[in-house]
Structure 1
Amino acid sequence: MSSPAPVTDSGSPTAEATSGWQWLAVAVLSLSTFVVVTSEMLPVGVLTPMADGLDISTGTAGYSLTVTGLVAAVTAPSVPRLLGGLDRRLVLAVAMVVLAVGNALTAVAGGLGLLMVSRVVIGFGMGAVWGLASAVATRLVAPRNAALAVSFAVSGVAAASVVGVPLGTLVGNAFGWRAAFGCLAGAALLLAAGLLLALPRLPRPAAPDPAPDGRRAGLWTPAVGVGLTLIALLVTAHFAAYTYVRPVLEERTGLTAGSIALLLLVYGLFGLVGNFAAGAAAAGRARRTVLGLALGIGTAIALLAVLGTVVGAAWGAIALWGLAYGGLSVGGQIWMSQAAPHRVEQVTGLYVGVFTAAIALGAFLGGTVVESAGITTLLWSAAALALAALAVGLTGPGPAARR
């Protein structure tokens, strides 16, 4: 296997074909997004024991996702503006070290204060890595493989549900929730080294070519605005409900901890299928694909609200939920890149900022509704938000369909 392929000043690979080493670099980047999202989402799988161990309510423990999401929401869109000419490879490696520190602090937290500090640190690492991942992925491979590289990089998000959260839940059940976060800290350090070894030097991307009238290509377009609004509503709906999926399955469906871990694995497996299916579909029909995902998410949450006490129906709803939400990250990313093709790094950071802000808002709203009105009201509220997202997508413009 050859060394990392050289890139031009704009960051594009100089070879027409993608080498094995370049695909290895994409794989390391994908593993990094996997660990980032697992670090963010692991409290979902260990929410009850973590709350008990810190002597706080499950609603308060769920707010830890809100803190992480808020910090990442500010970090992701800021990173492309602040990096200047810094090597993106070095930035990604440092961000993974920051993530490792955050997970280590979570593992040793003795109360709510240090837990929240640790989640702030995780938010900084998460925002930087996720905000750069898709834009960097396109620079690691030959131009003809760019879309596939983005799908693989973003697949780490879906794979976090397939392996990360369920495996973390199993580790938490067997060895305690602190051990699960300790494992994530070690994995983040290993990947920091892997990024330095596998990725080539990645300078600042070249500025977009000016339009015929001399102005730079704009970032804000109607399609970008509609896409960001749709994503904000959908992700808020998803995390309002999904943050509390373990209490839902415990209280309404009556599942044991082991059964819940298995069901989360099913959710993740369907999510991984949804990621690659949506990536392939959105390349040509981004708007239609994302609208289909919105319908799937709303339907799944509504099914849990209506038939959540029936074990078989709950399994079906969780599978549909995983399939639909698993494709949302890559589907939304392709929507954004097609809506602002000349400002990919900037629009990606903005997209991830909105995405993570919606995670924070969803976790906060979910905790508030659970504490004040109960789980059933939470599920119906989340389903209504998903349908609102569908309405926005149906009435507003999307990116032009590609043949």
Structure 2
Amino acid sequence: MTAAETLPRSHSPVKGWLAVLAVTLGIFALMTSELLPVGLLTPIGSAMDISPGTAGLMVTVPGLVAAISAPLVTVAIGRTDRRLVLAVLVGLVGAANLASAFATGFAVVLVARFLIGVSVGGFWALAGAIALRLVPKHHVARATAVIFGGVETASVLGVPAGTLIGDLGGWRTAFAAVGILGLISLACMIFLMPKVEPDQTITFADLPRVFRSHAAVRAGIAMTFLVITGHFVAYTFVRPILQEDGVADGMIGVVLLIFGAAGVCGNFLAGALIDRYLRQTVCGIGVVLATAMAVFAVTDNNTFSAAAILVLWALGYGAVPVTFQTWILAAAPDATEAASSLYVSAFNLSIALGALFGGLAVDAIATVSVLWIGGALVLLAVPVVGRRRG
């Protein structure tokens, strides 16, 4: 029997859905925290007197730490109440963002970013299966989609909104706002979630086992690495790219909000396709992202044309979280927690490596080089999945 079938449900469906919304708010706060510096690299770099490549470490550090913490936290917590673990992790991310807002040096910011990485990896890995414990069986798929909508919304709306706040009130205000959001999420977790005892635990041995025994999991991890690394090689430095194209600082937040709105459309479009055309949707994502980056690189942009190209980019990336998560869950239906842990680890490691490689390219070659590197990487995902069944 599954966890959903064995769990005694003393709470009502309404309370279950309130708990789902609390988890969704938490994962939105965490993912927004991880990616917030993307839109604020230039003002933070100027304030801290560091290069854009060095400022990119604010994305590299939490991504790398999250990649390590996802399996570590999942195994280490054993049979601890999941509500307690999630509350501690989201509270930690709120405190870390407030510390960044008041930091007097870049070293303090990096320590805070390390703590955010711990929270993101552990929280996301647990959130993947938490819907099984909160709602009736026939609502599980919908609840899981809502929870991972928090990842999607953070990716395509959280960063632009944070950028706009930073443009209007300064980068410290943006960090403080996300810190407060983390504390609000903590309160929601405490008051809206029931106690959630796990039905099973995983061990470190389960992780390589599911990787070895499922070819589709291996393909999913490979495509995640290529697409997410390629995206963040370029997207981490989208602000300097836009500035070099002559887009005014005051318009960058607006342009990124347009990116966010288009990303939400990409999410819904993918949701309508993946049930029947999962493999084709993954291939389409690679082609769309590569095309957008190449056009961005060769076009002498103004604000309007840059926004138009970013709409295409966002349609591709907006489809990523729901499509890739669906692939991973379908690839290992008998080991969803272990497969999800590997996926979360690969996703966040790719964010870290993308920001790191992009920073090296920006400092050593040119800002525009990240568009060519990123486009080449995402396009490589097409042959990886092209011969596999979705």
Structure-2-length-normalised TM-score = 0.92
The equivalent residue for 2:166 is 172
Name the SS of the counterpart of 1:200 in structure 2: coil
Alignment partner of 1:262 out of 239, 246, 254: 254
The equivalent residue for 2:70 is 76
Does residue 236 of the first structure (1) align with residue 236 of the second (2)? no
Shift of 1:11: 7.5
Alignment partner of 1:377 out of 362, 369, 375: 369
Alpha-carbon separation, structure 2, partners of 1:219 and 1:180: 39
Which deviates further from its counterpart, 235-244 or 273-282?
273-282
Alpha-carbon separation, structure 1, partners of 2:42 and 2:339: 37
Name the SS of the counterpart of 1:294 in structure 2: helix
Alpha-carbon separation, structure 2, partners of 1:146 and 1:308: 47
Identify unmatched segments of 5+ residues in structure 2: 203-208
Name the SS of the counterpart of 1:46 in structure 2: helix
Alpha-carbon separation, structure 2, partners of 1:362 and 1:55: 23
Alpha-carbon separation, structure 1, partners of 2:277 and 2:192: 33
The equivalent residue for 1:4 is none
- The answer to whether the Cα contact below 8 Å between 2:270 and 2:319 also exists between their aligned partners in 1 is yes
Shift of 1:375: 1.9
Compared CA separation, residues 348 and 255, structure 1 to 2 (3 A) = same
The equivalent residue for 1:213 is none
The equivalent residue for 1:135 is 129
- The answer to whether the Cα contact below 8 Å between 2:79 and 2:200 also exists between their aligned partners in 1 is no
- Pairs within 5 Å for 1:154-173: 154-173=148-167
Which residue identity does 2:280 align to in structure 1? R
Compared CA separation, residues 308 and 157, structure 1 to 2 (3 A) = farther
Name the SS of the counterpart of 2:56 in structure 1: helix
Does residue 22 of the first structure (1) align with residue 16 of the second (2)? yes
The equivalent residue for 2:240 is 247
The equivalent residue for 2:286 is 294
Alpha-carbon separation, structure 2, partners of 1:113 and 1:276: 40
- The answer to whether the Cα contact below 8 Å between 2:7 and 2:133 also exists between their aligned partners in 1 is yes
Alignment partner of 2:47 out of 53, 72, 79: 53
The equivalent residue for 1:273 is 265
Which deviates further from its counterpart, 356-365 or 104-113?
104-113
Alpha-carbon separation, structure 2, partners of 1:219 and 1:296: 28
Alpha-carbon separation, structure 2, partners of 1:372 and 1:346: 39
For the aligned residue pairs, the C-alpha RMSD in angstroms reads: 2.1
- Size of the aligned set, in residue pairs, is 381
The equivalent residue for 2:314 is 322
Shift of 1:180: 1.1
Shift of 1:207: 6.9
The equivalent residue for 1:339 is 331
The equivalent residue for 1:98 is 92
Shift of 1:144: 2.4
Which residue identity does 1:265 align to in structure 2? L
Superimposed CA distance per residue, residues 72-108 of structure 1 (whole angstroms, 9 cap, x where no aligned partner) = 0001122221121111111110001111121122112
Superimposed CA distance per residue, residues 318-362 of structure 1 (whole angstroms, 9 cap, x where no aligned partner) = 011111111211111110111111211221111000000000000
Alpha-carbon separation, structure 2, partners of 1:136 and 1:269: 28
Alpha-carbon separation, structure 1, partners of 2:37 and 2:384: 31
- The answer to whether the Cα contact below 8 Å between 2:211 and 2:218 also exists between their aligned partners in 1 is no
Shift of 1:53: 0.9
Which residue identity does 2:131 align to in structure 1? A
Alpha-carbon separation, structure 2, partners of 1:246 and 1:11: 48
- Pairs within 5 Å for 1:169-208: 169-206=163-200
Which deviates further from its counterpart, 350-359 or 83-92?
83-92
Alpha-carbon separation, structure 2, partners of 1:122 and 1:319: 29
- The answer to whether the Cα contact below 8 Å between 1:79 and 1:349 also exists between their aligned partners in 2 is no
Identify unmatched segments of 5+ residues in structure 1: 1-7, 209-216
Does residue 65 of the first structure (1) align with residue 59 of the second (2)? yes
Does residue 362 of the first structure (1) align with residue 354 of the second (2)? yes
Which deviates further from its counterpart, 119-128 or 272-281?
272-281
Superimposed CA distance per residue, residues 210-238 of structure 1 (whole angstroms, 9 cap, x where no aligned partner) = xxxxxxx9454110001100110100000
